[in-house]
Amino acid sequence: MADQIGFIGLGIMGRGMTRNLIKAGFPVTVWNRTPSRMAELAAEGAGTSTSPADLASRCDVIILCVSDTPDVQAVITGEHGVLHGARPGSLVIDMSTISPHATRDLAAALAAKGVAMLDAPVSGGSEGAARGTLAIMVGGKTEDVARAMPVLQAMGKTITHVGDHGAGQTVKLVNQILVVGNALAMCEALLFAKAGGLDLQKTLDAVSSGAAGSWMLSNRGPQIIKRDWRPGFTIDLQQKDVRLILDAADQLGVPMLATSLVFNLYRVLQTDGLGAEGNHALVKALEKLAGIEVKQ
């Protein structure tokens, strides 16, 4: 019989990922903290559950995509958490972006109950989640990665086993150093273009496919010049990732120059109440410094 798949966390990412599992033919049961968010997926064929423990008691593979480290801890080890329902032999796959250190502790707590765990954070944005083209960076045991592969392939295109527990999360932080550096460069470049009197759309057309092209520029550049701040990824969650990078870098004793600059710029925007906007609204912090609006 096919593995029963459970999915916890039907946010911007989780909704698309769950939909792709259903499309691939997996029997899927969902749980979301705000129960009304389950209705949409239930209408598309998913079963529903009453708590993470309830879901875990009925599933062989339990996937999570929730916000931050304390949220994953609550969902796994909390009062009605996965740990209290999961059967020995089941597999937990955490696809949230959280602390590598906390990940290793959670893997040990689950292992004590005979439950395996993989950290499998993702990159590719809401677009990648919807299209099933995510990059997935996986930490954990080789045999568990092999077991998870068909499930991961339904959600992602590039699946890389990068090491043991926590290594997936550490690679995701590497990814996020690149993402925020790219975002800062994009915002600074567009600010310069505007100040120089250029047509912003033509500028994007000219540079996007050359050596300066990037996912960030192609997907979020057009949103910036249209002043469209709808989030693929919110500033609050982006800032959570930057904090995880700076915490880890502090432990490693590594200087993080651009990343700490972005942390402070996002802090300005959070103070202005913009934490729910998309991470490309980073440009607003530079606009504030320059007194220029980057608008087509």
97 binds ligand NAP (CB under 6 A): yes
Q: For residue 185, which amino acid is it?
A: A
32 binds ligand NAP (CB under 6 A): yes
CA atoms within 13 A on the CB side of 294: 31
In the chain, helix, strand, coil percent, each to 5?
Answer: 55, 15, 30
At which residue do the structure tokens 């989780």 appear? 14
Minimal distance, residue 246 CB to ligand NAP, in Å:
15
246 binds ligand NAP (CB under 6 A): no
156 binds ligand NAP (CB under 6 A): no
Nearest CA among 55, 114, 100, 46 for reference residue 82 = 55
Taking CB under 6 A as the binding criterion, the range among 199-207, 230-238, 255-263, 283-291 that sits at the site for ligand NAP is 230-238
**# of chain residues touching ligand NAP (CB under 6 A):** 26
Query: Is 172 labeled as catalytic in the residue annotation?
Result: yes
At which residue do the structure tokens 């997996």 appear? 26
Rounded CA gap, 172 and 120, in Å? 9
215 binds ligand NAP (CB under 6 A): no
Contact 109, 82 (CB under 8 A): no
Q: Which of 172, 202, 226, 240 is catalytic?
A: 172
96 binds ligand NAP (CB under 6 A): yes
Taking CB under 6 A as the binding criterion, the range among 66-74, 161-169, 259-267, 288-296 that sits at the site for ligand NAP is 66-74
Among 22, 65, 110, 200, binds ligand NAP (CB under 6 A): 65
Rounded CA gap, 76 and 86, in Å? 10
Q: Report the catalytic residues.
A: 172
